[in-house]
Amino acid sequence: MYMDLIKIDISIIITLSVQIFAIMDPLAALPPLIEVIADLKPSDARRMINRAAIAIFILLTLFSIAGGIILSIFGLSISSLKIAAGVILMATAIDTLITGHKPEKINVGEYIIVPIATPLIVGPGTMTLLITASRLYGIINTLIAAYIAFIATYIILLISQNIVRLTGTTFVNGIGRFMSIIIASFAVEMFVSGIREILAIQ
C-alpha cells in the first residue's frame, strides 16, 4: 500500500495534469481577473497575481496530500466520492458552458485570493478531483500532476492582460465553453465508474 502511494507513473501524471488544468480552467477566470487588475500598476498587478498563485499552490498541495486522510476521517468510500465528484464536476461544466466563463462580477476591493484563487480557479471541482486522485493514483502522482497544472495556470495568469488584449473576451469565453465539454466528459466517466463499483459490490 505504501509503495503504491509513492510509485510514479508518467502516463497517469500526464493525463491527470491535463484533467486538473481543465477543471481549474484559468482562461475562464481571466475576465474577472482583468477586472480586478486593469487599473493597477504592472508591479501591483504582478504582486496580486503572485499572491493568488501562492494560495493556489497551497490549496493544490493541501488537497493532494490530505485526500486519503479526509476520506478516512469521514468514512467515505472511493466509489461514493467518484459519484459526488462526477456530480460536482458536471455542475461546474454546465455553469461554465452557459456563461462561457466563471462568475462575472467581482468587486475590485476584494482580496484577490478570494475569489480569484478560490473558488474561481481552485473550486469544489478541483478539490474533489484532487482528493479522489490522491486515493486512486497516489499522493506523489497527484502532487506532480497538480504542480504541472499549476505552472501552466501561473503562466496564463501572468500574461492574462496580453491574452485578453490579443484575443478578446469573446475568444476567451469560447475557450471556456470548450473546456466545459472536457470537464463534463471527466464528470460522466467518474460518475459511471463510481456507480459500476457500487453495483459490483452489491
What tens digit of pLDDT does each residue of 113-148 get? Answer: 777 788 789 988 888 889 889 988 999 999 999 999
Residue 109: band (very low, low, confident or very high) from pLDDT cuts 50, 70, 90: very low
Average pLDDT, whole number, for the chain? 83
Separation CA 179–CA 22 (nearest Å): 6
Type of residue at 185? S
Q: Tens digit of pLDDT for each residue in 66-105? A: 877 877 788 888 888 888 888 888 887 887 777 655 554 4
What pLDDT does 71 receive?
A: 77
The number of beta carbons lying within 10 Å of the beta carbon of residue 186 is 22
pTM: 0.81
Separation CA 110–CA 89 (nearest Å): 26
Average pLDDT (28-46) is 84
CB 158 within 8 A of CB 46: yes
DSSP the chain: -HHHHH---HHHHHHHHHHHHHHH-GGGGHHHHHHHHTTS-HHHHHHHHHHHHHHHHHHHHHHHHHHHHHHHHHT--HHHHHHHHHHHHHHHHHHHHHHSSS-----TTS-TIIIIIIIIIS-HHHHHHHHHHHHHH-HHHHHHHHHHHHHHHHHHHHTHHHHHHHHHHHHHHHHHHHHHHHHHHHHHHHHHHHHHHHHHH-
C-alpha cell at 115: 475569489
C-alpha cell at 62: 493541501
Q: Tens digit of pLDDT for each residue in 158-175? A: 999 899 888 887 787 777
